[in-house]
Amino acid sequence: MIRLIGLICLALASVATTFPAYGSLAGLSDEELSRIIPTLHARSAEIPPGPLNDTSAKLVNDKNHPWKPAGPHDIRGPCPGLNTLASHGWLPRNGIATPGQIVTAAQNGFNMGNDLAIFVTYAAFLVDGNLVTNLLSIGGKSSLTGLDPPAPAIVGGLNTHAVFEGDASTTRADAFFGDNHSFNETLFQEFTSFSNRFGGGKYNLSVAAEFRFQRIQDSIATNPQFSFISPRYFTAYAESVFPVAFFIDGRKSDGQLDLDVARGFFQNSRMPDGFFRSNVSTGINEIGNGIGEIFTPHPIQPGENHGINNYTLNPNSADFSNLCKLYTDFVNNTVVSLYSKPKGTLLTALKRNLHFFYSPFQGSECPEVFPYGK
């Protein structure tokens, strides 16, 4: 009898501990969902935080947010911004957070504008997070073992390729080459040489324009599976602006990023000593202006490689002339392809978070879409 109870406990424990609370449910089969969801502790999504009241520059590498190296069980991923927020304790240091915590941390730590913070956070959360537990890992794509019958191959997180993470990154290699999320020294050397050539030894928006173009050309020439359509198309350009918007000390306003400081963020998830966040809140409009400066000298339209050196434009992808289509396609195509027939708590959470994702567009000419009904 005791042995039987022991076995049942063991069985329950193995189910309960095998699927982590931050594991993404995206793309799982109905059968997998009905087995996993009952083992999760459901938590309803919090209302997204509002904007900062005080958006001035201030010390953010302060005594309450010292840098500490990530421990062996702490998760880090492809985003140097979120990695840094976690390594300074603006986010939980283990790299597992709620979407609300991520919005708050991006605002407090870097002065990201509320609309942009909400848009990128909820986009990532919808495709890479766990909608039932309300948790997202900032990296952490890992294999699941020990489930009987064996099931989902992977636990999503920001590393998941082609839903948010994508090709032609600044300092991370394309997934085709293997590791798509770690800092890559070869790429940082190119970043450095472009900063020397076009920025007098600093990274600025002129450098960003040239280097973004170079990274695209490089992927066209070497990655037969290079994909450069929405949403990656947008995030690639935005992420080239981010270092200028967020990694420069807020007491400076010249838009020139020192390369040692850049390396600290990209490689070590570390703010310089005494770092002040920007005194400009960078939201969707501001990032759009930066993208314009990068895109104009080398306008590349969305597309993908059909074999090396065979970049084919994709007229179905959203582009910079249609931001609403970015939103609509993300919901109607990307999210729907990952969640075809959600039910119960998952459906409720999905609808709630889709509405939060839409909120930056509220009151605009871009209407909300409801693929799962209102």
Ligand X SMILES: *[C@@H]1O[C@H](CO)[C@@H](O)[C@H](O)[C@H]1NC(C)=O
Paired with 112 in beta bridges are 282
Q: Is 216 near ligand X (CB under 6 A)? A: no
> Please, what is the minimum distance in Å from the beta carbon of residue 351 to ligand X?
13
Give the span between the Cα atoms of 327 and 357, in whole angstroms.
Answer: 9
Q: Is 216 near ligand HEM (CB under 6 A)? A: no
Listed in sequence order, the DSSP H helices in the chain are 2-18, 30-36, 80-87, 99-110, 114-128, 185-199, 205-222, 232-246, 259-268, 284-295, 323-329, 336-338, 344-358
Q: Is 372 exposed, middle or buried (0-12, 13-18, 19+ CB in 10 A)?
A: middle
Q: Is 118 near ligand HEM (CB under 6 A)? A: no
Give the one entry of ligand X, ligand HEM, none that residue 81 binds, where binding means its C-beta sits below a cut-off of 5 to 8 angstroms depending on kind. ligand HEM
Question: Which among 23-31, 66-74, 106-114, 292-300 is the span making contact with ligand HEM, rule CB under 6 A?
Answer: 106-114
Question: Which among 3-11, 25-33, 61-69, 178-186 is the span making contact with ligand X, rule CB under 6 A?
Answer: 178-186
Q: Is 261 near ligand HEM (CB under 6 A)? A: no
Contact 42, 259 (CB under 8 A): no
Nearer to ligand HEM by Cβ, of 32 and 188: the residue is 188
Q: Is 181 near ligand X (CB under 6 A)? A: yes
2, 3, 5, 53: residue in contact with ligand X (rule CB under 6 A): 53
Give the one entry of ligand X, ligand HEM, none that residue 171 binds, where binding means its C-beta sits below a cut-off of 5 to 8 angstroms depending on kind. ligand HEM
Window 137 to 176, contacts with ligand HEM (CB under 6 A): 158, 164-166, 169-172
Q: Is 98 near ligand HEM (CB under 6 A)? A: no
Q: Positive or negative, the Cα torsion across 251, 253, 259, 265?
A: positive
Give the span between the Cα atoms of 317 and 66, in whole angstroms.
Answer: 42
> Please, what is the minimum distance in Å from the beta carbon of residue 191 to ligand X?
11
64, 145, 186, 340: residue in contact with ligand X (rule CB under 6 A): 186
For residue 232 the two structure tokens come to: 């990656």
- Helix, strand, coil share (%) of the chain residues, nearest 5: 45, 5, 45
The CB density around residue 166, as the number of other CB atoms within 10 Å, is 25
| Residues, the chain | 374
Give the span between the Cα atoms of 156 and 135, in whole angstroms.
Answer: 11
By CB under 6 A, name the binding residues for ligand HEM: 78-82, 102, 106, 110, 112, 117, 120-121, 124, 158, 164-166, 169-172, 235, 239, 242-243, 246
By CB under 6 A, name the binding residues for ligand X: 49-50, 52-53, 141, 159, 161, 173, 175, 177-181, 184, 186-187, 199-200, 204-206, 253, 255, 279-280, 306-307, 310, 312, 328, 332, 369, 371
